[in-house]
Structure 1
């Protein structure tokens, strides 16, 4: 079977010319004498020599920092912009959702916008007629179907736009960060819909996302772009692990985060210098997984020998909610530090957190009744981010998608 998408040595160049600021410069530009302004234009390569083959029915993730070239690649594949060099071969009908809500008109009703947006995305009127009730039910806007969308809440608008897009019937689906829109409940519903399209419909999918758990969950392979070039291409878990350890403030086994300049409070008698965190299990590439162990390596400098009453590794949600507090004070043991540099390892046997991104907070204090400002040795409010992944071999039905803390449970039916 021929591949669904073939990309060979693809490049995209943008010419960055200085904007004329006078009539003389405008005339010079019209006559092709850009040098009249005294400044030469420069070239920016959004993509450089990218090659990728995607088989029919395969789900491939596309990751990278902002500005890496991900959206440019999707726009070329969607025929929104042309490449500067290279070849692309696409076999099958393409459905692309690069910007949720593209084609919606505020003065038209939800009903009218379904037909308008569907036509823009390539659906015929017959297709829309067949799928209309399904689209409306998925978007949950039955009561507001004949209300102009300019009166919709942002959540209603997002639900309707996504519902239209995912009820296309394409061979190839190109998605750019569409699973990050809407509230958490609708995000879960959207993810389930994408999974259904992949597992039951056999769609070929190219997915851009900054949510690494979503990429791990949906994608069999992953392409990592960096500054427009291919940094890595391979199995999703391996590529994601490499990407996370390279990211600036993601702590990993091979990525020590320097916290010497991090915002902090404390008297400085002992200070955190750096942190790295892993599972302690080399067989899992050191990545932290739900219900697995977590090992936090702390580099600390003390002015003198000191017994620290409370040394804590705190894991917070990105909204600041404290979820895990591994504090030596709760064990009833002081942490003895020597003058100079120390390495302290805090091990959590089982990390009961769902897959996702969390913030790491570090704390050292001396107990004297209630903690006062002078009792705080060092408090780093945000040391780094930590990514918790789905355990290998677990599909989407194994772990819950709601709540904060997974748990072990059982049930029985009494007769």
Structure 2
């Protein structure tokens, strides 16, 4: 039950980052840079951009720009926005992982932070040992962990495997145990960033129930970041929308989702990936630089049309057997399907290359989609080594081929339409 007591206050907060490398990465590199500067020479370790210009490492980027709002005790607040909008940065500031550049954040109570579920788990230790270690990292005492141990294991449904090393766990088992530990920390505030991205549907609903119970029955405050609008609707009583670091909207959940969905519909035809942060650190042996949609901007893209893309990428290492993967993600954040390039990509080290791609939309249905683009190298054993990934690499809108076509209902029929069934007379 929400009260009138303010438990979190965010007052004119901005967070600024520097783009480019800070330091040479080694003592030798830093000494080389210092000596070159001392002699008035060019820095041998300076980074170059795509046209050969030096990047001085002092380019500023505002991840959050003058954001202010308050959260009342017992509220379940959703935080939504496109990739790079500033959602995770905001939660890191709240969790004191980093500090704001400008402004103040104050809160009253203990925070249970679930930004990276399972951070601190050691693969060689058993589930039991990791419960104690992870609980200690989150601020629980040994006596507190022991008192709640059976409840944690029961919630995670891990009774049979609790004495097994976690290196043998599946990703779903891993996240179940990690969430269970964090969720049972006695705290006034729960901060979560996409913690339900892994795990089966039944467990996701169980987690949502736990968080809902924490807000409604225990009076705890929940801040939840997700791209899944269904879970936002189910859990949250209020929602804020962030866009390019700014607060766009603060209020009703359905209105917030509508504003977010409308923003997602805007279709761009040129994308620059060079300064986009990757959600998962990759080796960038092959690095995505830019992409253009070559279709006519004045004409809508209809179901059945080919989407023509021109991708520019760079080889930072040996690229002899690279393939690309496109995950097609619908507006409700469900994966509609996946496509792979039919040929391998080969680029000499240090060189750039333009690749033209054709995407067949004949099996897709009308709606708004985004492409998550990955580059990987597959070895002889079939193991894929991912080297770069850009989420939201492009946004597209598909419309019906003809106005008389059946209006597709993806919530009931899915996001893929197969070829019509042929009726033959017997």
TM-score range, shorter chain: 0.5 to 0.7
Corresponding residue SS for 1:179 = coil
1:56 aligns with 2:112: no
CA–CA distance in 1 between the matches of 2:406 and 2:242? Answer: 34
**Structure 1 residues 347, 157: closer, same or farther in 2, change over 3 A?**
closer
Counterpart for residue 330 of structure 1: none
Q: Judge conservation of contact 2:303–2:365 (CA < 8 Å) in 1.
A: no
1:211 aligns with 2:228: yes
1:155 aligns with 2:172: yes
CA displacement, residues 340-378 of structure 1 (integer Å, 9 cap, x when unaligned): x97447568xx6947xx9526598x9x9977xxxxxxxx
1:105 aligns with 2:122: yes
CA–CA distance in 1 between the matches of 2:414 and 2:366? Answer: 7
**Structure 1 residues 249, 15: closer, same or farther in 2, change over 3 A?**
closer
Alpha-carbon distance, 1:231 to partner: 1.6
1:194 aligns with 2:196: no
**Structure 1 residues 35, 192: closer, same or farther in 2, change over 3 A?**
farther
CA displacement, residues 248-306 of structure 1 (integer Å, 9 cap, x when unaligned): 389xxxxx9932496559xxxxxxxxxxxxxxxxxxxxx99xxxxxxxxxxxxxxxxxx
Query: How many residue pairs get matched?
Result: 293
Corresponding residue SS for 1:89 = strand
Counterpart for residue 16 of structure 2: 13
Q: How does 1:16-27 map to 2 (within 5 A)?
A: 16-18=19-21, 26-27=33-34
Counterpart for residue 239 of structure 1: 256
Counterpart for residue 359 of structure 1: 415
* TM-score when normalising by structure 2: 0.60
Q: Which sections of structure 2, spanning at least 5 residues, go unmatched?
A: 47-53, 268-297, 308-330, 333-362, 370-400
Corresponding residue SS for 2:69 = strand
**Structure 1 residues 352, 79: closer, same or farther in 2, change over 3 A?**
closer
Q: Which sections of structure 1, spanning at least 5 residues, go unmatched?
A: 251-255, 266-286, 289-311, 319-340, 371-415
Alpha-carbon distance, 1:315 to partner: 8.3
Please, what is the CA RMSD of the aligned residues?
3.8
Q: Judge conservation of contact 1:315–1:361 (CA < 8 Å) in 2.
A: no
Larger Rg: 1
**Structure 1 residues 86, 20: closer, same or farther in 2, change over 3 A?**
closer
CA displacement, residues 133-154 of structure 1 (integer Å, 9 cap, x when unaligned): 0011111111222121112222
CA–CA distance in 2 between the matches of 1:257 and 1:93? Answer: 54
Alpha-carbon distance, 1:30 to partner: 8.6
